[in-house]
Structure 1
Amino acid sequence: MRARVQGTNISPDTLLATDYLNHFNEIIMMLDMVPDMPDLVEECAEWQPKTYSAHFAGSTFRDKDLAIEAYEHCPPAYREPFDATIAQMDALALSTVAAMQDSVANGDTEAVALQASTASRALQRLMDMASAIIHGASTTMDQSEIDAILGR
């Protein structure tokens, strides 16, 4: 598999591709705009997690079929922390959207802005970790580190 991914945007070490993170760029960009445009909360609610394979199946990524296949061969030393980081990102994005919707329903635009900006920063840090894993690091953030970022 490593030989097949040479010359592509798939890491020959981890067999992962950073293109998957574009899915999270969408929610991060929307969250960044929410403090100035609270109406975007409903657009944020339309964002849903996508599996690695589902992302590539629906993408225009040149080597999308190879990316899906390579993911299945990703060494556990990278796959496990990568999947754990993605699960944290999915949970954080969904819980933030739910909290923002509650705040909107209560007319608390200050809370909406704070929730959006805090989650955006945390998601960016997690995305940086996911990118590092894609490029060969095997580290993750534990829940206490995420809670510290979120001020919990």
Structure 2
Amino acid sequence: MEQEPNGPLYEAFCARCTGTNINAQTLLATDYLNHFNEIIMLLEMVPDMPDMLEECRAWEPKSYPDHFRDSSFSDRDLAVEAYEHVPARFKDPFEQTIGQMNELVTLTMDRMEEVLEDPEQLRARGRTAGRALQRLIDVASAIIHGNQVALHQDEIDQLMGI
């Protein structure tokens, strides 16, 4: 059950996160975004090495708690535990943005596969996807740092040229 901001559990987690790499207001950590930086790097390699698309396909979405359970992040246990207490005003747009990123990665791989034999189109689609994913990472990072923002689907569609 999520605590209301300023509730005793929320306040306790804010205090525990102070001085760590977890934002003491949102109870979120930017380290999670490394999961997406990894796929962006792989996608950027596809135009020069089309066989990398297979490695991209091996990448899978990972929930915030699962990312930290599998990581060597110094405060990983705290990150997992605190996630249950992230206020909805941050968690909802954060999860929406992450969902959009996961969808965009899948769409990008499908779109790149369509033009695998056309290096020019492959490069163009990779660039477009990279910019769109970076924009979403920026949104997720802003949320992690306490801003209540999210992109709407029409903005995502515009980024992808749909």
Whether these two folds match at TM > 0.5 is: yes
1:47 aligns with 2:47: no
Q: Secondary structure at the match of 1:38?
A: coil
- The answer (yes or no) to whether the contact 1:38–1:113 under 8 Å persists in 2 is no
Supply the distance in 1 between the matched residues of 2:104 and 2:72 (Cα, whole angstroms).
27
Pair 1:61-2:92 in alignment: no
Q: Which runs of 5+ in 2 are unaligned?
A: 1-12
For residue 114 of structure 1, what is the aligned residue in structure 2? 124
Structure 1 gaps of 5+ residues are: none
How many residues of Structure 1 are paired with residues of Structure 2 in the alignment? 150
- Aligned: 1:138 with 2:148: yes
Q: Is the 8 A contact 1:96 1:115 kept in 2?
A: yes
Q: TM-score, normalised by structure 2?
A: 0.88
User: Aligned partner of 1:95: which letter?
Assistant: L
* TM-score normalised to structure 1 length: 0.94
* Alpha-carbon separation, structure 1, partners of 2:63 and 2:109: 19
**Which amino acid in 2 is paired with 1:99?**
R
Structure 2 distance, partners of 1:117, 1:30, is 12
Which AA in structure 2 matches 1:50? K
CA distance in 2 between counterparts of 1:37 and 1:117 reads 15
Kindly indicate whether the alpha-carbon contact (under 8 Å) linking 1:35 and 1:117 is maintained by their aligned counterparts in 2. Answer: no
Deviations 1:12-50 (A, max 9, x none): 000000000000000111122222222211111111100
CA RMSD of aligned residues (A): 1.1
Query: Structure 2 CA distance, aligned partners of 1:15 and 1:97?
Result: 32
Q: Which runs of 4+ in 1 moved over 4 A?
A: none
- Inter-partner Cα distance in structure 1 for 2:27 and 2:40: 25
Shift of 1:103: 2.7
Partner of 1:29: 41
Measured in 2, the distance between the counterparts of 1:59 and 1:132 equals 22
Bigger mean CA offset, 56-65 vs 107-116: 107-116
Contact persistence 1:31–1:117 (CA under 8 A): no
